[in-house]
Structure 1
Amino acid sequence: MVKPDTVVDRLARTFMPTQRPFRPTRTHPAFSGVAAAVAALAVLAVPVEAHARTEEGCEGARFTATAQADLAKITVLDGGILRRDLPALADVRLASAHGSADSERRPHRTIATGRYADAKLLGLRVPAVPLEGTVAESRAPSSRGPAEIDTPVRTESLVSVDAGGLATIQLGKSTADARWHDAYRCGRTGPLTRSATMLAGAQFLGGGGATPAIRAMRPAGTGAAPGIGAVRPAGAGEPTSLLKLGPAGSTQSATDLVRRKGRLAVTAAAGVALSDLTLFAGTAQEVSIKVVTQPTLTVTATGERAHDEVVYRPAVLKVAAAGKPLATLDTSDTSVGVELRGGLTAASLLSARISLGAPRQERAGRSVRAEAAALRVEVLLGRAHLLDVALGQLFAEASAPPLLTVPAHAQQRTYEKPVTATPSPAGTSPAAERQVPEAAPPTSPPAVRTVAEPQLEETDALARTGANVAAAATGGLLLVVLGVVALAMARRRGRRN
């Protein structure tokens, strides 16, 4: 007789699968190689996609630039010597050229302005100065079209102004040009702003018509001035002007995106072009100042403090008094004083001081800024400032994003804009314009480019961010090939066994 448990055991062994002990699954090394190759391709593909999105959106780090040049800041008859709260008789700013850029500003990222004059009499702003229509302004991008379309160059002709004999300003012209491209935010280089203002000349305290504002007194029986044979009685003064600037003067400002040591850099530059300056013209007390080399100020920000730079080139002056050479000023923080016998009364003692300024600079984070007064002319009557003129007031500031690189093989592209001519005052002869000294010697390129340049260069390349696509593809393909070879060899060994 068969036992029931024995029958059950037989049925279980017949109809139920045999249970084997659990063993962990082992992966062949070839499969591990293939998996690693696929994972490597997936990881390397992530920064490539991010790089493509960065180029398409053109979203880079913020950069800024500001440049301004004022031809002259003039204070006439400072009343502070009588009482501290008394304003000056006249406070005038002439020929301002301004440009600014901010990659995050809305709606206009770049603005260029050329301004004629800003004047105050006895502390009150002169009505309608600057005159309507005498400010040239350009903004980009234009609201009338896409950012890639440049706005037209703005040009305004400036009229002459006569403020009752206190100040006489001749004809001039202002030009402004602002540009913007969305690729600027990804490392593309090119011009941002250009502005320039030019005047045919200016005269202060020269009087109007037959009534002079100043007479230089001379003893009786002497000539009116060197080279003039007229004899005047005692007490009769020789008509003159306090300051004469001419035959021309101009200011320029420029901001650019450039490439420095493989990185994106931002530059801001300001400069002035001065001709002759004359104090008490046509008298025995005449002081003439001839500008030999024009002053320029350039600031470059690279995003790394070690590579930021400020370059200031001071003016070189030749000073003459009473028709005789007096001194040559060619370095910053130098000055020369001249004592003058004459002026408003026969016994008055005037003194004039001509000095060169030095730049003041500040660095904070990724920003660098500098400013300088190229030339200062002071005329003192005792302790009172009869005239205080700061010529060539220059300011530049720039900031750049860190570690934004620009390809060295970037393709250069040039283009032209419909700029007709360099800003020049109407009615000024070419001969008069040629008397203005050049802003740079032939061996040194000018730091400031005027708006009249026919060609401006920029690059079409974008910044290099993310992974190297060629290296990623080559490495991934090599890993795949090695994995396939390892898998084939493993299968062949298995068949032999």
Structure 2
Amino acid sequence: MRLVALPGAVALLVLCAGPAAAQPSTTPVPPVVDPSGPPAVVPNVSSHAVGDAGTGLAVVRLLPNSAPTRSIIPGAEDKLPKQAGVEVGFGLASAQVNSEAYLSFERSIAQATPGGIAVQGASPQAPGALAQTAPPNSSEGRSGGINPPSTPLDTLVKVGVLNGRVQAQWHDNCTGTIADSSTELASLSALNAIPTLPSTPDLTGVFDAPNLDPAADQVVINGLKNLTGGLSTLGGVLGGQGSTSSLLSLPNTLSARSVVRLVDIPGSANKAVESTSTLQVAAVKLLAGTPFELSVNVVSQPTLTVTSTGDKATSTVRYTAPILEVVQGGKSLGKLDAANPRLDVPIGIPLQNPVDKLPIIGALLGTGQTLPAGLSKLDLGVLRLSVAGLNQKSEESTQPFKGFQLGATARLLDLQVLPTDALGLPNLPSALAQISLGEQVARAYAPTGGVVCATAATPPQAPPAPQPKGPALAYTNAAYQSVPIFWTGTAMLMIGVVLVAALPRRKRLSPYKAG
């Protein structure tokens, strides 16, 4: 049995299911056709500001860290972290501000995307996305919803109604929020099966754990045969075989918001660029409706805010880390926070014949009873719950303007399905599947001293095109000397008129009068 067949089929279904969400980018600068002509668009040069915030409600990854990241820079692929073989994301909200955008209406972009798919890092644009750009400003934002249809990917993830809202603005006088985007997800169920594991319970001739002898291998093979389903359904716990349970589900609404705005700098008339990503969720269920159900209660909601003043000393990253409590069977298994970022829940099989035909997850049997002392078991996998720590990067830049840029990423919850050394299957990756809830990204870039809040100068007009001149007259003595002669004659005529008018008139005698 080849384990790569099912992941390959899933990847093919992903490619056929539809395009995926991609972060919007500004229009590339077209080549100059006529150097003497006016520019297509003159960017705003009075208020420099660049920032973006992105929040994803849920991302499911198959074979994480298995595909190399492609790069146009030679040798960079070996240094960049690897990507997942297949990624399916839902409820993506992004807000972007870029004063240097070539087209003026792309200075502010707010986008809410219902979902997206990426195969080895390639993610085309998804249909059904809400988007708004500025300028010109819109007094009203845009809102809408989408109910994704049933697809072959429902085994991986199935979502309910998604709602989104976007608003983009651009003010030359640096007032108000520039870009604002939000998404809201009513329901979610992820991983009704784990396609990277075999679906048959009989692993004869396939199972070969390196730390077990052939006799011990056969004991495990016999134990797996007694389970209700194959490893892809965790022994019959997940969907399939008459069950509708998912590895992860949401009993309540999950919402995300991304905002980029300009804020005051104390003691300065200029502004700072502030990018904020926020999440709102009450609880997450694992293996809901089964005897092994776990509840992950969100005690503290996460908020990520990155502020750039243009100077390293005063730029900040503020992160309110989430606090999660994991409960199974009414008993707390522990809390996840910055001090305790990881909790493992083992998945095993009893080495005696199980009565309930189900595995052992955590400290519970398939009957819902606590694991009795003395019952020997073998852990074949682990459900790893973790809160992703804050990662941040900063850099002083000179392009497209001199300033300071700052960025940070975080996650609300990571759920990974990991194999143990006892799971003797060939060609298994280090992680079989991963579900991430609440992915947060925020970046800000401001010029040195802050954003100058001045009304944009009138765009320079292109110089008028030179008018064609008429034919030049040939230079001749008669032509050019006739001009002073004309004015001299006119002056003498006027003098003569004045003299005639000034002299007294004589009275003439009639020749017919006698003397």
Q: Which of the two has greater helix per residue? A: 1
Q: Which residue of 2 aligns with 1:258?
A: 263
Counterpart of 2:187 (choices 173, 191, 201) is 201
Counterpart amino acid of residue 63 in structure 1: A
Q: Is the Cα contact below 8 Å between 1:198 and 1:250 reproduced in 2?
A: yes
Q: Which residue of 2 aligns with 1:391?
A: 437
Cα gap change, 1:98/1:214 in structure 2, threshold over 3 Å: closer, same or farther? farther
Q: Is the Cα contact below 8 Å between 1:67 and 1:98 reproduced in 2?
A: yes
Counterpart amino acid of residue 197 in structure 1: T
Alignment of 1:96-135 (within 5 A): 96-105=92-101, 106-108=103-105, 109-119=107-117, 130=126, 132=127, 134-135=128-129
Q: Is the Cα contact below 8 Å between 1:358 and 1:374 reproduced in 2?
A: no
Q: Distance in 2 between matches of 1:120 and 1:255?
A: 26
1:174 maps onto 2:164 in alignment: yes
Q: Is the Cα contact below 8 Å between 2:272 and 2:451 reproduced in 1?
A: no
Counterpart of 1:93 (choices 76, 85, 89) is 89
The CA RMSD over aligned residues, in Å, is 3.8
Q: TM-score, normalised by structure 1?
A: 0.56
Q: Distance in 2 between matches of 1:119 and 1:136?
A: 17
Q: Deviations over 1:97-127 (max 9, x none)?
A: 1011112322221000011101257x69899
Q: Which residue of 2 aligns with 1:477?
A: none
1:242 maps onto 2:234 in alignment: no
Counterpart amino acid of residue 160 in structure 1: P
1:402 maps onto 2:420 in alignment: no
Q: Deviations over 1:162-214 (max 9, x none)?
A: 33331211002111000112223xxxx3211110011111112338xxxxx99
1:157 maps onto 2:157 in alignment: no
SS of the residue 1:111 aligns to: strand
Q: TM-score, normalised by structure 2?
A: 0.54
1:336 maps onto 2:334 in alignment: no
Q: Is the Cα contact below 8 Å between 2:49 and 2:99 reproduced in 1?
A: yes
Q: Distance in 2 between matches of 1:370 and 1:245?
A: 26
SS of the residue 2:291 aligns to: coil
Cα gap change, 1:58/1:183 in structure 2, threshold over 3 Å: closer, same or farther? farther
Q: Distance in 1 between matches of 2:146 and 2:252?
A: 16
Q: Give the deviation of 1:462 after TM superposition.
A: 5.1
SS of the residue 2:447 aligns to: coil
1:320 maps onto 2:327 in alignment: yes
Counterpart amino acid of residue 112 in structure 2: G
Q: Distance in 1 between matches of 2:151 and 2:330?
A: 30
Cα gap change, 1:79/1:254 in structure 2, threshold over 3 Å: closer, same or farther? closer
Q: Is the Cα contact below 8 Å between 1:356 and 1:374 reproduced in 2?
A: yes
Q: Number of residue pairs matched?
A: 317
Alignment of 1:179-328 (within 5 A): 179-184=169-174, 189-206=175-192, 239-263=244-268, 264-328=271-335
Q: Give the deviation of 1:254 after TM superposition.
A: 0.4
Counterpart of 1:363 (choices 391, 394, 406) is 394
Cα gap change, 1:246/1:101 in structure 2, threshold over 3 Å: closer, same or farther? same
Q: Distance in 1 between matches of 2:200 and 2:243?
A: 8
Q: Give the deviation of 1:262 after TM superposition.
A: 2.6
Q: Which of the two has greater strand per residue? A: 1
Q: Is the Cα contact below 8 Å between 2:246 and 2:286 reproduced in 1?
A: yes
Cα gap change, 1:101/1:304 in structure 2, threshold over 3 Å: closer, same or farther? same
Q: Distance in 1 between matches of 2:168 and 2:200?
A: 44
Q: Which residue of 1 aligns with 2:385?
A: 354
> Which runs of no fewer than 5 residues in structure 1 stay unpaired?
1-56, 143-148, 208-212, 223-231, 407-460, 464-497
Q: Which residue of 1 aligns with 2:18?
A: none
Q: Is the Cα contact below 8 Å between 2:257 and 2:279 reproduced in 1?
A: yes
Counterpart amino acid of residue 198 in structure 1: E
Q: Distance in 2 between matches of 1:182 and 1:237?
A: 60
Counterpart amino acid of residue 114 in structure 2: Y
Counterpart amino acid of residue 162 in structure 1: S
Counterpart amino acid of residue 93 in structure 2: A
Q: Distance in 2 between matches of 1:114 and 1:237?
A: 36
Q: Give the deviation of 1:311 after TM superposition.
A: 0.3
Q: Give the deviation of 1:345 after TM superposition.
A: 6.8
Alignment of 1:408-423 (within 5 A): none
Counterpart amino acid of residue 383 in structure 2: A
Counterpart amino acid of residue 392 in structure 1: G
SS of the residue 1:306 aligns to: coil
Q: Is the Cα contact below 8 Å between 2:278 and 2:302 reproduced in 1?
A: yes
Q: Give the deviation of 1:219 after TM superposition.
A: 12
SS of the residue 1:206 aligns to: coil
Counterpart amino acid of residue 163 in structure 1: T
Alignment of 1:43-82 (within 5 A): 59-76=45-62
Q: Distance in 2 between matches of 1:200 and 1:140?
A: 30
Counterpart of 1:140 (choices 134, 140, 161) is 134
Q: Distance in 2 between matches of 1:169 and 1:179?
A: 31
Q: Is the Cα contact below 8 Å between 1:205 and 1:214 reproduced in 2?
A: no
Counterpart amino acid of residue 191 in structure 2: L
Cα gap change, 1:323/1:90 in structure 2, threshold over 3 Å: closer, same or farther? farther
Q: Is the Cα contact below 8 Å between 1:332 and 1:358 reproduced in 2?
A: no
Q: Distance in 2 between matches of 1:302 and 1:74?
A: 36
Q: Give the deviation of 1:239 after TM superposition.
A: 4.8
Q: Deviations over 1:353-396 (max 9, x none)?
A: 11111111122121111112232111224365343112221111
> Which runs of no fewer than 5 residues in structure 2 stay unpaired?
1-42, 68-81, 194-198, 202-222, 229-236, 351-356, 360-377, 397-403, 422-428, 456-515
Q: Is the Cα contact below 8 Å between 1:138 and 1:151 reproduced in 2?
A: no
